[in-house]
Structure 1
Amino acid sequence: MNRISLLVLLVGVLNVPPLLAAPGTGVITVAEQPARLIRATTLYDAAAGTRLQGSDYLASGSAGVLLDQLAGTRVALGPGTRIYLERKGNATRIALLEGWLKLQPLKGARPSRLLLSTAGLELDASQAAGVIHADASGTEVFVEDGKVSVLEARHDNRKTELTREEYAQFKGQAAPAAIGRPSSEFIRAMPAAFFDPLPAVATGKGAGDPLDKVREVSFADVSPLLLGPVKLDSRALALRFSPRLSDPAFRQAIVQRFGGTLPWEAELYRFERKGATR
């Protein structure tokens, strides 16, 4: 489908309102090394004390990261973990693109809905304690306490409920393998810090977030969101990152990867029209 043939369809897309600022969704309390954070179209190094927002992308790198006040839950990211945060109504959603998460509800916190997404799975982990691991082969879930409900989109939303001390693997087309206790492979691979309760760490209220701007994002920076295993809102992402079309390398990568898709064709057309009127 070429750009000209899309013009009629673009009429309703070109007048998309600007993204609204999302409310806070937690705070980084521990970062062994600065985590990489993408907010709007900018890449930052984020240190302890950074308050997170909806639509933030966070990558732990080679060290662990501890988050607090996230939907009434303390969350640890293992090394090599990438997440994307969304806030919709009273629900907080963590898209686990890859890596390890540990969840631990905060005592006395107001109940709040915490959802997680991995490739093909939607998990409701509200007020649940446990460990979740996702990689190219699938997802593993271990519930330490509480209950986690898992919906498999690839199997007509087949539902599996895991309760205290239950473990399951969701891989390929096979039915979930719930075996009651984690496998030895899972235990060996789990980050060492996940074997202990997550610590409470006080964070002072600074004048602003301790963010160190690195640069504007490249296509490689945002590819885990655009090409990753978790299905995200492609229209919202195209609108968000459209200012980077002014970078020729970014624009070329978008044309090569997403030429012909409506969300990005809308933004490419808008960019070209803006350039033609200058």
Structure 2
Amino acid sequence: MNARTLLQALRIGFAIACLCALQCAQAGPAILRPEGAVTLIRATTVFKVDAPIALERGDLLATDAQGSAQIEDGDGTIVALGADTRIAIDAAPHGDALALLSGWIKIARTHATATEPLSIDTATLDATLRDGAAVLHASRDASALFIETGGMTLALPDQADARQPLDGEHYAEREAGKPLDVRTRPAPSFIAAMPLPFRDPLASVAAPTKAKLTAPAQGRPATYADLADWLAAPLPIRRTFVARFRPLAQGEPFRSHVRQNLRNLPEWRRVLCPPPAMPRRRAVSPVQAQSTEVES
């Protein structure tokens, strides 16, 4: 390699390093910016959050009847939460994921730095958004979404192989056990119930000078009532709950509540009723084995 080629290679390497450093600096943690109090369940502890904090994988969030919130990521993703909305910060094989248990959210992804898609899981409909804006509503028995701009790929949780791409200005809804219904206009009931702020484009909220980026110091242990709907939710994130909340099942009254609901929580049976330990087999020494063979 001559000097000119070496110099060119160094310049390219330096440029790539700068680009990687820039992306890493931009893609910081997702920040929750509450409007009113938001309930946060982190690990097995419940907090009341009323100031910006950095979110972590596995966080369960709930807005109250009069509140709202906005999540902003370093890659240009904005997620607005309406009132009475419960959502989880999940992880997907490729990119980030949200698990929407109930309520309303609006998502906007406008920056080219969002290289990985964002997955949104609901009880009856799964969606993947790479760029654009969309409004989603979910309950345990139905889901609906309207794509304002960009495009999404939709899939049914019980039919993983059935995927349908949709571009902007399309509406889709699905009730549990029924096929996907796709239209070019939102249903009137969807428009009527949609939070009024969701009619406008999402905008980033200016960061406060002193953001509280950690959870409050004081919290309380999660109760069964805090987790009941999540534990029984038909969402992929449910598979992580036994390992996560097992310590709560060691005490009362959480253990009794789980026992009373084992029909809907079959995965907890091994926690409450672990199988008996297998008897230990006696080790046979080589001398004993050889003696047995000679006697025979």
Q: Same fold (TM over 0.5)?
A: yes
Q: Aligned residue for 1:51?
A: 54
Q: Which residue of 2 aligns with 1:230?
A: 235
Task: Give the match's secondary structure for 1:126.
Answer: strand
AA of the residue aligned to 1:49: P
When normalised by structure 2's length, the TM-score is 0.75
SS at match of 1:244: helix
Report the Cα offset of residue 60 of structure 1: 1.1
Q: Is the 8 A contact 2:92 2:119 kept in 1?
A: no
2:271 counterpart residue number? 267
1:200 to 2:204 alignment? yes
Whether the 8 Å contact between 2:123 and 2:141 is mirrored in structure 1 is: no
Q: Is the 8 A contact 1:72 1:111 kept in 2?
A: no
Q: 1:144 to 1:221 in 2, by over 3 A?
A: same
1:65 partnered with 2:69: yes
- Aligned equivalent of 1:216, options 217, 221, 228: 221
Residue 102 of structure 2 is matched in structure 1 by 98
Matched with 1:78 is 82
Deviation for aligned residue 1:32? 1.7
Report the residue type matching 1:32 in the other structure: E
Report the counterpart of residue 40 of structure 1 in structure 2.
43
| Letter in structure 1 aligned against 2:148 | E
Q: Secondary structure of 2:146's match?
A: strand
CA drift of 1:147 comes to: 0.8
1:164 to 159, 164, 168: 168
Q: Secondary structure at the match of 1:86?
A: strand
Distance in 2 of aligned mates of 1:24 and 1:44: 23
Native 8 Å contact 1:37 1:43 kept in 2: yes
Change (3 A) 1:138 1:263: closer
**How far, CA to CA, are the matches of 1:70 and 1:56 in structure 2?**
18
1:121 aligns with 2:125: yes
Checking the alignment, whether the CA contact within 8 Å between 1:24 and 1:51 is kept in structure 2 is: no
Quick one: higher RCO (CA 8 Å, sep 6+), 1 or 2?
1
Offset at residue 122 of structure 1 (A): 1.9
Larger radius of gyration: 2
Structure 1 distance, partners of 2:35, 2:238, is 31
**Alignment partner, residue 180 of structure 1:** 184
Rounded to whole Å, the distance in 2 between the matches of 1:47 and 1:140 is: 29
**AA paired with 2:230?**
L
CA distance in 1: counterparts of 2:159 and 2:138, whole angstroms:
18
SS of equivalent to 2:88: strand
In the aligned structure 2, how far is the partner of 1:254 from the partner of 1:190? 35
2:143 alignment partner AA:
T
User: Number of matched residues?
Assistant: 247
For structure 1, the residue ranges without an aligned partner over 5 or more in a row are: 1-22, 274-278
Give the direction of change, closer, same or farther, for the CA distance of 1:91–1:71 in structure 2 (3 Å limit).
farther
1:190 alignment partner, one of 190, 194, 202:
194
What is the alpha-carbon distance in structure 2 between the residues aligned to residue 176 and residue 185 of structure 1?
Answer: 17
**Could you tell me how far 1:25 is from its partner in structure 2?**
5.0
Instruction: Give the fraction of aligned pairs with identical amino acids, expressed as a percent.
Output: 28
In structure 2, what residue type is equivalent to 1:192? Answer: L
Aligned to 1:243: 247
Normalization by structure 1: what TM-score?
0.79
Deviation track 1:96-118 (CA, whole Å, cap 9, x = no partner) reads: 10111100114353422210111
1:142–1:167 Cα contact (<8 Å) kept? yes
| Distance of aligned partners of 1:263 and 1:152 in 2 relative to their CA distance in 1, 3 Å threshold | closer
Distance 2:83 2:265 in 1: 34
Amino acid at match of 1:43: V
Secondary structure, in 3 states, of the residue corresponding to 1:93? strand
Q: Distance in 2 between matches of 1:40 and 1:171?
A: 31
Q: CA deviation at 1:207?
A: 6.3
Counterpart residue identity of residue 216, structure 2:
L
After superposition, give the CA deviation of every residue in 1:133-192 in whole Å (9 maximum; x if it has no partner).
112441111001111111113346322222111111112444322221112211111001
